[in-house]
Structures are given as C-alpha cells and as structure tokens.
C-alpha cells in the first residue's frame, strides 16, 4: 500500500466524523492508537477541518467583534497545532528513512513530505465541501455545473498530488532524494521574538 492510499481514507474519515455534529467545539474522538502515523493523520485532518469552519465563521459580516477576537486566538492556536503536527509527521518520515544512504547525486525536494501531506489533507476538505455545493438542493443548475467543474479539477489535483507524494517517498527510500526536518520558527507566536509581545513586558 502506498502512503497516500493509507492517508486519503483517513482524511475522509476525519472529515465525515467531524460533520456528524458540524460543530467546532466537538471533542475529537481519534479511533487510532496514539503515537501511530494513522492517529497523527486523523488528528491532522481534524485540525484542518475545524480550522476550515473557524475561517467560515470569522467571515460572518455580523460577527460580534469580541467574539471575532476570541475566534482569532483559536485560529492562531490551531495554526500552531497544525504546524507542530506537520513537523511530527516529517519526523516520522525522517526516522523511517534515516538509515538510507543518499546517492552521490541525490537532491533535496522543494518541500518536505509532510508539507505535501498537509496540502493533501486540505485538498480532501476542498473536495468534500465542493461536492456539497454540487449536491445542494437549493442551488441553481448553473451553480451546480460551475461547482462540478471545480470539483473535477480538485479530484485531478488529488490524484496528481498523491502520485507526486508517493514518488517522493520512493525516491527518498531509493536514495535519489534526501530530506531534513525543519522547524517553522513562527516568530509572531513567540513572546521572545514578537516585538509587540516582548515590548509589552517592559
């Protein structure tokens, strides 16, 4: 089984599980064993799904400003959780392939495997919600046709991205590519590097 053949159904499961309640405050009930790559993939897509709906809510033109600020803080935390989890998934790949000796002409990829997996998770969300638009009972035929064209493109992207991820992992395993785990070092979340935060201590 390829990695994306494992990941895509887990992403779909997380999205469907979330939409059983369709509520951003629903506690996660991860069906996979903690510490496994399956559990990390499920959690990754759950975080992405909740954040997708955070982004919908905060765009409500009638949202109370105080509530919007609280929601913005939740989005910030979600973004950090998402980044941390991508690094965890990259560490999984690094550990899995660390014994591979790169070939003399091996090259490094423009992005790590886990950041590509991050895009695959978000793509699964786009597909789910675009399909919702295609199937909307109150939508016009024109709207449905437009969304169907977009859905077709998203499905093609999913196929292409899955192929590219699996090829990248095969190249790493064969020594044709090599990878590193980079920390994102987001400065605005760090009270020691964001001048607004460390300036407030003075």
Q: What is the pLDDT of residue 180?
A: 84
Q: What residue segments make up the domains of the chain, in order of their start?
A: 3-190
Token pair for 104: 């003399």
Q: What is the mean pLDDT of each run of 10 residues along the chain (202 residues)?
A: 98 98 97 98 98 95 95 94 95 95 94 96 98 96 97 98 98 94 70 70 58
Q: Assign 3-state DSSP to the chain and report helix, strand, coil percentages, each to 5.
A: 65, 0, 30
Other Cβ atoms closer than 10 A to 46: 22
CA proximity to 176, closest of 106, 117, 81: 106
Q: What is the pLDDT of residue 201?
A: 60
- The pTM of this model reads 0.91
Q: What is the pLDDT of residue 200?
A: 64
Determine the Cα–Cα distance for residues 165 and 110; give it in Å rounded to an integer.
12
């Amino acid at each position: 089984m390829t990695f994306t053949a494992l990941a895509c159904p887990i992403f779909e499961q997380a999205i469907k599980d979330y939409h059983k309640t369709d509520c951003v405050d629903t506690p996660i009930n991860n069906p996979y064993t903690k510490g496994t790559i399956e559990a990390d993939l499920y959690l990754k897509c759950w975080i992405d799904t909740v954040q997708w709906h955070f982004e919908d809510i905060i765009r409500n033109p009638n949202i109370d400003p105080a509530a919007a600020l609280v929601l913005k803080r939740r989005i910030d935390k979600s973004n950090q959780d998402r980044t941390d989890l991508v690094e965890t998934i990259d560490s999984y790949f690094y550990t899995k392939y660390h014994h591979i000796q790169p070939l003399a002409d091996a090259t490094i990829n423009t992005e790590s495997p886990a950041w590509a997996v991050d895009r695959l998770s978000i793509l699964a969300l786009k597909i789910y919600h675009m399909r919702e638009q295609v199937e909307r009972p109150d939508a016009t035929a024109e709207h449905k046709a437009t969304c169907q064209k977009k859905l077709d493109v998203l499905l093609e992207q999913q196929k292409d991205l899955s192929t590219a991820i699996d090829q990248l992992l095969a190249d790493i395993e064969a020594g044709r590519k090599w990878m590193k785990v980079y920390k994102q070092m987001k400065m605005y979340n760090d009270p020691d590097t964001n001048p607004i935060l460390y300036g407030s201590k003075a």
